[in-house]
Structure 1
Amino acid sequence: MSAVSMAVVLLMAFMVGYKMLPSSTWLPSSTSQYQENNEISTTLFLESPVTTEIPPLKGYIIYDCDDQHTGPCGGWSERMAGIFSSYVISVLLRKHFLIRYTRSFNLTDYLIPSTFDWKYNSSILPGRSWDYQDFFSKTPNALKKNSIKSLGDLFPYDVNFVRMSWDYTEYFRHFQILPNVIPWVLELHFADIYLKFFNTLFQPTKFISQTVNRVVRNVTKLACAHISLGGRRTISEDDAFIYKEQLDPIWNLLRAMEKRNYSLFIATDSQFVRNTAKTRFKHLLEVEGRILQMDRPIGGDGVAGGYKKVVADFLVLTKCDVLILTKSGFGILAAYMNNKTKEMYCLNSDEVLPCSRYTIHSFYPEKIFYPLQ
Structure 2
Amino acid sequence: MNMHTVFQRKPLLMILACLGISSLCFIYTRTDSAATFYQIFQTSDGIKAFWETDKNLNDLFSGTQKVLKSASPFTRSIDNSIFQTHRDIRVLRDETLRNIIIDDEVDCSKRQFLLYKCSRGLCGGWGDREKGIVSSFLLALLTNRTFAIYMDKPCELENFMDPFIFNWTKCKRYLDTIPAQNTTEENHVGGNRGFYGKISSIDFEKLWTRKKIVLFLNAYVPVMDSIKLHKDVEKQMKWIVNMTRPEIVHLVIHTLFRPKQRLRNELAEFIRTNTNGRHLVCSHIRIGKNPSIPGDNNLPKGSPKEGTIFSFLKRFKNPRKYAIYIATDSNDVRQGAMNNFKNVFNINRTIVHVDRFKKVDRETDICEGLYTVLFEQLMLSFCDTLLITRSNFGTIAAYMRGSSDDLYLYHTKTDKVFLTNITNIQSVYGFV
TM above 0.5: yes
Q: Counterpart in 2 of 1:96? A: 146
1:123 equivalent in structure 2 = 174
On the 8 A contact 1:224/1:324 being kept in 2, the answer is: yes
Matched, 1:139 2:193: yes
**Is residue 36 from structure 1 mapped to residue 12 from structure 2 by the alignment?**
no
Q: Which amino acid in 2 is paired with 1:257?
A: F
Q: 1:109 to 1:354 in 2, by over 3 A?
A: same
1:229 aligns with 2:229: no
Alignment of 1:242 onto 2:303: yes
Counterparts of 2:330 and 2:307 in 1: how far apart (Å)?
16
CA contact (8 A) 2:287 2:299 kept: no
Compute the displacement of 1:45 (Å).
4.0
Report the Cα offset of residue 340 of structure 1. Answer: 4.4
- For the 8 Å contact 2:186–2:215, the answer to whether it is kept is yes
Distance in 1, Cα, partners of 2:132 & 2:300: 20
Deviations 1:271-303 (A, max 9, x none): 111111122222322223211112103233633
Q: Match of 2:111, SS?
A: coil
Contact 1:225 1:265 in 2 (8 A): yes
1:289 touches 1:308 (CA, 8 Å); kept in 2? no
Residue type matched to 2:374 in 1? V
Q: 1:296 is paired with a residue of what secondary structure? A: coil
Cα displacement string for residues 140-196 of structure 1 (whole angstroms, at most 9, x for unaligned residues): 5485152352x3343321112111000111111110211221123222111111111
Alpha-carbon RMSD: 2.6
From 252, 270, 281, the equivalent of 1:215 is 270
Q: Shift of the alpha carbon at 1:305?
A: 2.6
Counterpart in the other structure of 2:317: 258
User: Counterpart of 1:313?
Assistant: 376
1:271 matched residue in structure 2:
331
User: Residue 320 of structure 1: CA displacement?
Assistant: 0.4
For residues 218-240 of structure 1, what are the alpha-carbon distances to aligned partners after superposition, in whole Å with 9 as ceiling and x for unaligned? 34310000001113575669426
Give the helix-richer structure, 1 or 2: 2
Partners of 1:171 and 1:139 lie apart in 2 by 13
- Per-residue CA distance 1:234-262 (angstroms, 9 max, x = gap): 5669426325xx22221122221122711
Secondary structure at the residue paired with 2:117? strand
TM-score by length of 1: 0.79
SS in 1 for 2:122: coil
CA distance in structure 1 between the aligned counterparts of 2:361 and 2:213, rounded to whole angstroms:
35
Structure 2 runs not aligned, ≥5 long: 8-36, 40-70, 75-97, 102-109
The 1:222–1:54 alpha-carbon spacing in structure 2 relative to 1, beyond 3 Å, is: closer
Residue 60 (structure 1) aligns with: 113
Q: Give ranges in structure 1 of 5+ residues lacking alignment.
A: 1-32, 47-52
- Please give the per-residue CA displacement for 1:17-44, whole angstroms capped at 9, x wherever unaligned: xxxxxxxxxxxxxxxx214243372251
Contact 1:319-1:341 within 8 A present in 2 as well: no
Structure 2 CA distance for partners of 1:126 and 1:38, relative to 1, 3 Å: closer
AA in 2 matched with 1:41: Y
Give the match for residue 417 of structure 2: 352
Larger Rg: 1
Q: Which of residues 244, 248, 251 is equivalent to 1:193?
A: 248
Alpha carbons 2:100, 2:147 under 8 Å: kept: no
1:293-344 CA distance string (max 9 Å, x none): 1210323363333221110000000000100111111111111111246311
**C-alpha spacing 1:157/1:310, structure 2 compared with 1 (3 Å):** same
TM-score, length-scaled by structure 2: 0.69
1:327 match: 390
Deviation at 1:87, TM superposition (A): 1.0
